[in-house]
Amino acid sequence: MSQTRRHLEHHPGINPAPFKATIESITDEGVILSDSWCYPKGGGQPGDTGIFQSDGEEFRFGEVSASSHILHPVSSGNLQVGQEVDCVIDVERRNALASMHSAAHILSATANERWGAITVGNQLGVTESRMDLKFENRDEFDANILQDDANHWVNKDAEIMIHEWGRKQIMTDDRVRNRRFVERIIDRIGGSDPRLRMVEIEGIDLCPCAGTHLSSTSPIGDITIGRVQNKGKGTFRIYFEI
Ligand SMILES: [Zn+2]
């Protein structure tokens, strides 16, 4: 059975509290805990890092990932199955990535709003992130306009909310962007009443997302667009900082 991704219950996804858990197994790839609130890398967002504390010892873990279970890569061999640990997530890194992630939503939505651009890829970083935007007519794109549009929504301090919605609610809401794509995600989940975690930024964005976010937009601070690279096929790769 796949492990529950507890980070999904956490909104805003900042300042994650330390938690206690028991080591369930240790594999070549990492430590699996009885329960984990760590964000596993995915969707362009890097995973959490942090420290296990146990009996006065500390064990740093690297970037958390997930397949069927959430893996915490630890190099030290002193941990034992059954051992209880305090897991302390690197808060500064998580908060920076939640801010970057929230900024990415705004950029993606405003580029779609103004030019009908579709976000076809993104990779977030603590200090710099990038996003690939595919345009119908790439010549219309102007990085300064995108930056101004995005900062308009930052300055509005729009609320960021999480919803658990079913197919009907999602597919009948005109604010949901790229609904054909969203429907494919719903189909993939399957079952009689699949639910999706929808992220809403009041007035500008509504889309499915499993990442970590702020509770409103103003703490993101100024979004600055840097390099813009031509990726061919109507696509630009834009780099941004906050
Ligand atoms: Zn998101």
Give me ligand 1 centre to Cα 233, in Å. 26
Fold identical between 6-89 and 95-241?
no
Q: What local confidence, expressed as pLDDT, does residue 2 receive? A: 57
Residue 167 pLDDT greater than 50, yes or no: yes
Give Rg (Cα) of the chain.
19
CA of 198 from ligand 1 middle (Å) equals 9
CATH number of 95-241: 3.30.980.10
CA angle 217/221/225 to nearest 5° reads 105
Residue 3 has pLDDT above 80, yes or no: no
Instruction: Output the CA 210–ligand 1 centroid distance in Å.
Output: 6
* 81-105 pLDDT tens trace: 999 999 999 999 999 999 999 999 9
CA 58 to ligand 1 center in whole angstroms: 32
Cα(181) to centroid of ligand 1, in Å?
16
Q: How far is the CA of 209 from the centre of ligand 1 (A)?
A: 5
Ligand 1 centroid to residue 150 C-alpha, Å:
15
Domain extents for the chain? 6-89, 95-241
137-164 pLDDT, tens digit per residue, is: 999 999 999 999 999 999 999 999 999 9
Between the CA of 118 and the centroid of ligand 1 the distance, in Å, is 15
Buried b (16+ CB within 10 A) or exposed e, 79-116: beeeeebebbbbeebbbbbbbbbbbbbbbbbbbbeebe
40 pLDDT more than 50: yes
Q: What angle do CA 218, 220, 223 make, to 5 degrees?
A: 110
What mean pLDDT is reported for the chain? 94
For residue 29, the CA-to-ligand 1 centroid distance in Å is: 27
Whether a cis peptide bond, with omega within 30° of 0, leads into 12 is yes
Is the per-residue pLDDT at 200 higher than 90? Answer: yes
C-alpha 162 to ligand 1 mean position (Å): 9
CA–centroid distance, residue 199 to ligand 1 (Å):
6
212 CA distance to ligand 1 middle (Å) = 6
- Compute, in angstroms, the gap from residue 102 CA to the centroid of ligand 1: 6
| Architecture of domain 6-89 in this structure | Beta Barrel (2.40)
The Å distance, Cα 43 to ligand 1 centre, comes to 9
**What pLDDT does residue 1 have?**
44
The neighbouring-strand residues paired with 161 are 200
Which position has the higher pLDDT, 63 or 78? 63
Instruction: Please check the confidence at residue 78 and state whether its pLDDT lies above 90.
Output: no
Work out the average pLDDT over 108-130. 96
Neighbours of ion ligand 1 (CB under 5 A): 199, 209, 211
Instruction: Give me ligand 1 centre to Cα 142, in Å.
Output: 24
